[in-house]
Amino acid sequence: MKFTALIAAASALALAASAHANSFTNGDFSSNGGNGQVGYNTTITSWYVPSGGYTFLYADGTADTGVTVGQYGNNDLWGLNNGGLDAITSPPDGAGQFIAQDGDFQVQPLDQDITGLTVGKTYTVGFDYAYAQQSGFNGDTIQYWAVSLGSSPAQDTPALTNPSHGFTGWFSDSFSFVANSSSETLSFLANGNLPVPPFALLAGVTFTPDTVPEPAAWATMILGLAGLGAMARRRRAAVAA
């Protein structure tokens, strides 16, 4: 029993050594300054939008109710409360907050600078997304999200058509990136076609390292198990004597 417990402890220690902590935080956007245009009249802890970006934060249930204001005034999305085709449903993560970024006007990414990364290690970015349109505008739109980490090539969600005045509902996706530096910028950039403005929605972002132990961790575990084996041999010798 003791030997088994020691093996389990050594394995857990090696796995823990492989999981380097990184600074990613607030993936559900719950720490924020309230509804509004990010960088203009509201903030989201750890996230930022370069100057001039047309990106908004909404509390669940408010996107079509006339309470969100940006630099050009009210910024509603089409929903049942303002004559749209569909109800804007709650994001799957249940946190009650989501991002809406214009993909064809003042386009700037939503960014978070992440430190504590291990060069060469794989990290998986998970997220929920949907597509909508600013109220008062007409026409179908084709939209997608481009996601990137540092200098790694961006990866795109499938391009989807959102009917005029519509809301697509929520989807989930994930992309894997290899860290090229100990500090990288995670970016989400909306892309949409005319007629404007198409709005891409984002919620429930996660950032997790690959769980496969690194070579150093394997070495630690092997040395630990070798030590446990030596202890077991000494114990058997003592019992035999």
Amino acid identity of 177? F
Helix or strand holding residue 186 (H, E): strand 184-192
Per-residue pLDDT, 238: 54
Q: What DSSP string runs through 150-200? A: TTSPPEEPPPEEE-TT-----EEEEEEEE-SSSSEEEEEEEEEPSSSPEEE
* Weakly modelled stretches of the chain, pLDDT under 70: 1-20, 212-241
φ/ψ of residue 4, rounded to 5: -60, -40
Domain ranges for the chain, please list them: 1-19+213-241, 22-210
Output DSSP code: residue 75: -
Per-residue pLDDT, 218: 43
State the Cα–Cα distance between residues 232 and 209, nearest whole angstrom: 35
Tokens (6 digits) for 106: 């003042």
Per-residue pLDDT, 223: 52
Per-residue pLDDT, 88: 98
Per-residue pLDDT, 117: 98
Per-residue pLDDT, 234: 59
Check: CB of residue 171 under 8 Å from CB of residue 131. no
Looking at domain 22-210, its CATH architecture is Sandwich (2.60)
